[in-house]
Amino acid sequence: MRHRRTDHGVGTAYTAGQITGIDLFPKFINLFNRNTAKLNLQDRLKGLVGSMDALPFQQEELDLIWSEGAIYNIGFERGLNEWLKFLKPSVFIAVSEASWFAEERPAEIDAFWQDAYPQIDTIPHKVTQMQNAGYVSTASFVLPDNCWTDHFYAPQVAAQEAFLKKYAGNQTAEAFIANQRHETQLYNKYKAYYGYVFYIGKKL
């Protein structure tokens, strides 16, 4: 859950702006701030514990909002609508969202996503939602497969094995891991039909 405040860009290597990271969990924010200190970037980076449905910013305070793999927590449309007020005029929001690549898809994967995240929709519909929220859609692009396979599913394997070992014989734990592995199998089977898409919009 990242919301970045910056004057000129999104990366510390390319901007002299201030960047504020928001996360609900103190452990992650503590790690964020420790790493910031190690890099001697305390004057530019700051991590705050907070929720994306109650951001601690003033109206028209931000030059950019960046939320990668997180807006689903409150919903794509809600996030776009509620965060609009924090942006200055004519600046950008960049968010990634699970999206369908086709209007029609196999029943098995459609049922899985309707249960997990009913707000998933096609790219044209997501672009329309962004426009209706008060942004000009400036870009949308599909993230590559390895964002799922290498950076999301692959790291889960060792963690799953350790979790099962720790809770050996626990049916709840076993069912949880089985569900995670089922999701991985579904992605490998149906990745032609869905994925993560970045949507970039400019506030009117």
pLDDT for 9 equals: 34
pLDDT for 80 equals: 98
pLDDT for 17 equals: 84
Structure tokens that stand for 126 in this block: 């997501």
Q: Which domains does the chain have, with CATH numbers?
A: 51-203 (3.40.50.150)
pLDDT for 170 equals: 97
pLDDT for 15 equals: 67
Is the alpha carbon torsion for 60, 61, 63, 67 positive or negative?
negative
- Averaged over successive runs of 10 residues, the pLDDT of the chain (204 residues) comes to 37 71 95 95 93 95 95 96 97 97 97 96 98 98 95 95 97 97 97 97 97
Q: What are phi and psi of 26, to 5 degrees?
A: -55, -35
Structure tokens that stand for 148 in this block: 């799922």
Global confidence as pTM: 0.88
